[in-house]
Amino acid sequence: MSTTPATTTLNKLEFLRLMMLSREGDRREGILLRQSKGWFQVGGLGHEALAAFASVLTEEDWIFPYYRSRALMLARGFTNYELALAYFAKRSSSSGGRMMPGHYSSGKRHVFSVPTPTAANLTPGAGVAWSMKLTGTDSLVLASVGDAASRQGEFYETIAFAVQEKLPMILVVEDNKYGISTPTQKFLPFNLGVINPEIVEYVDARNADNVLAAGRKAAEKARKGEGPSILWCDLDRLGSHTSSDDHRVYRDLQDIEEMQKRDPILLLRKELIDAGQLTEAQFDQMQEEVVKQVDDDYQRAEKEEEPRASEVLIQNFGEDPPAEKPPIQPGKQNMVGAINQTFKKALENDPKVLMFGEDIEDPKGGVFGLTKGLSDSFPKQVFNSPLAENTILGVAVGAALYGMRPLFEIQFIDFISPGWNQVVTNMSTLRWRTMGDLKCPLVVYAPCGAYLPGGSLWHSMSGEAYLAHTTGIRVAMPSTPEDAAGLFWTAIHGDDPTFILVPKHIFRKQMDVANVEPVPFGKARIRREGSDVTLVTWGNGTELAEEAAKKLEGEVSVEIVDLRSIVPCDYETVTESLSKTGRLVVLCEDNRTGSFAQTVVAEMTGKPERWNLYLSPPQVVAREDTPIGYHPTYEYAALPDLNDLISAIRLTME
């Protein structure tokens, strides 16, 4: 691919035609919607001059666009026909019909899939820009948002990280004065004086020359390693917010009439006519040609194949990752040591493995020592993050998209909530919503769990149910050093976003590791053979399960199934065990309602062939539906204990 921009000037006649093509596409979609041909439309009317940014970008640069970036996408190489396919949500569109119109994406053109939650494209953009810097390219990222989105936390986190690391990034704020119906003037951080004016340039973005000049300056700055720019682009939203809105309800009609006079297409048309480069007749001819092209494209696209219901699950996950023997040796050890050894080998083997998290650099090496010694040995791969979970998770998405292998830490799973938007918006859906064209294989790990007095509310969650409920991510929770090493080793070489939760109560427990074998996802392990009751658990629950099984020796023969992998879950092994015992108890330390323990019971009772195996009703043993308090009395009152578990086992025997 080319590494230099195709041009640094605009052919204004061609550029006018491109803006007209974008406008006519918007107009045609509005007509089709009124004919009940389609379900939704979002327009880029008034934003067309921003397409000039494409002229300062190379093919190696990435764009993280906004849903009004129609003209910019045409300038990047999208065809009008492709946008027509997206409008009709056809099977051959870029999302396979899974995304709304205006939610562009293209791997070959380096265009990120537009997420609807505003500003959610920014921290992934920073992740790509950071990866560009780390790999020594002179590429850059252009990321765009609407003015209302400049109040999202992700906007501020992205600016902070981009400035901190001097990232090659251009942040474009498309200021059309409204967030749907709400005037944004009093909300904008630029007007409030909370953004450093030295990195902000005001652009009258109704004029393509202004856009090109500002873009060229920002691109040169980025490619020289001088850091990011914020281009505050003043323009007008010439239509309603979307097809579901009518701006005449909340905008003064005179204001609407006045802004139509500032239409960038009319301004460029006048400029060219005044300069003698265009005549009225030539403009009319150009308009006729554009209308015919759009008409042909949309008629052809309308006839294309619809999505297939049978393909709804396609690209939710990638292929199962290959399970290979992890790089640890048999012997006495704990999970912390086994994980550290695995991380070290991953960093040695692949310079694209990138670690990022709070306090993970030496001499601290993580608050639990999971990364001890790694930043000293691999200073170009292991980095402290700011205390900003959204930055951590968003950057992970972008770094993975760019081809790095993120292995990122959340200090406690309890702290994930500030970054939850990136988990549910981008990380879990990127592959599915682009039909596999874009993906973000990565590993996020976090210490989890309770049974350690003094943790209180935000250090004692287990967290697996939230993650298991989120489509498109793999989830695991090991309970032994060899399983921890094996699951990490498999995940690091996998093709999906993966969360590995490491239970704090037992991760320093010295255990005998007799055999080191590959650990695939979706394969449970029988920890103890038994014939009377199947006890399914994972993480910290395995310790309690062993205690109960020993306590009941001679009374009840308990078979312990350690799931290890939550998503995917090995229901086949659980079924095989149940076919021997006829009784099921599921133990977890998460709170009962909506827990993964309840999911296991639902799955194990929902099929007749499984239901017919039961000799008694299955039981769930879980934390009470209450937070965990600081005082040990509260913690142990909430958590399942040995007596709870034994009582449940005995109940199944009645």
Please count the CA atoms within 13 angstroms of the CA of 588 that sit on its side-chain side. 25
DSSP-derived 3-state class of residue 514: coil
Q: Are 461 and 448 in contact (CB under 8 A)?
A: yes
**Residue 276, number of CB atoms within 10 A of its CB:** 7
Q: Cα 300 to chain center, whole Å?
A: 34
Helix (H) or strand (E) holding 173: strand 169-175
d(CA 48, CA 21): 10
Tell me the Ramachandran region of residue 473: left when phi exceeds 0, alpha when psi lies from -120 to 50, beta otherwise.
beta
Helices and strands in the chain, H and E counts: 23, 21
DSSP state of 440: -
The answer to whether 110 is a known catalytic residue is no
Residues near 454 by beta carbon (within 8 Å), at least 6 away in sequence: 630, 632
Distance CA 350, CA 381 (A): 10
Nearest one of 477, 490, 493, 489 to 525, comparing CA atoms: 477
Q: Which of 103, 110, 241, 459 is catalytic?
A: 459
Q: Where are the beta strands (DSSP E) in 93-249?
A: 141-146, 169-175, 178-179, 182-183, 200-204, 229-234
Q: Distance of CA 237 to CAs 16, 48, 179, 180, Å?
A: 18, 10, 10, 10
The Cα–Cα gap between 16 and 272 comes to 9
**How far, in Å, CA of 486 to CA of 478, rounded?**
9
For residue 537, the surrounding DSSP H or E stretch is strand 533-537
Other C-beta atoms closer than 10 Å to the C-beta of 247 total 16
Please state, in angstroms and rounded to a whole number, the distance separating the CA atoms of residues 79 and 72. Answer: 11
Give the residue numbers marked as catalytic: 459
